[in-house]
Amino acid sequence: EVKLVESGGGLVQPGRSLKLSCAASGFSFNDYWMGWVRQAPGKGLEWIGEINQDSSTINYTPSLKDKFTISRDNAQNTLYLQMSKLGSEDTAIYYCAREWDTYDYWGQGVMVTVSS
């Protein structure tokens, strides 16, 4: 069974950084692109970015490429999202997802709240 479990969320002060993790199981992690998507409370979905199997290609939505960094550790079957200079606009549920043509499996999401 494909399973994706995000962790590392919580309350963070404006201007600070936070690193999210996504632990993958039930499939061969190093065969797949992976991605991050977020959803602000009561809002729609926003694509953050994606990373290929060997981390040689990483794509971001333009508005976030200077703030967020996607990485992965294939030995640990884990995807990461490093977020910096966080502001209230980054308050959202963050989802990781497996990419095969499209995002076919998603984690349950982790909440990040940016507030003083």
Partner 1 sequence: DIQMTQSPSFLSASVGERVTLSCRASQNINKYLDWYQQKLGEAPKLLIYNTNNLHTGIPSRFSGSGSGTDYTLTISSLQPEDVATYFCLQRNSFTFGSGTKLEIK
Give residues in contact with partner 1 (CB under 8 A).
37, 44-47, 50, 61, 95, 101-109
C-beta of 90 vs 107, nearer to partner 1: 107
- Give least dist CB 62 to partner 1, A: 8
Nearer to partner 1, 51 or 107 (CB): 107
Calpha distance 72→26 (Å, rounded): 17
Nearer to partner 1 by C-beta: 11 or 45?
45
| Nearest distance in Å: CB 16, partner 1 | 26
Shortest distance (Å) from residue 109 CB to partner 1: 6
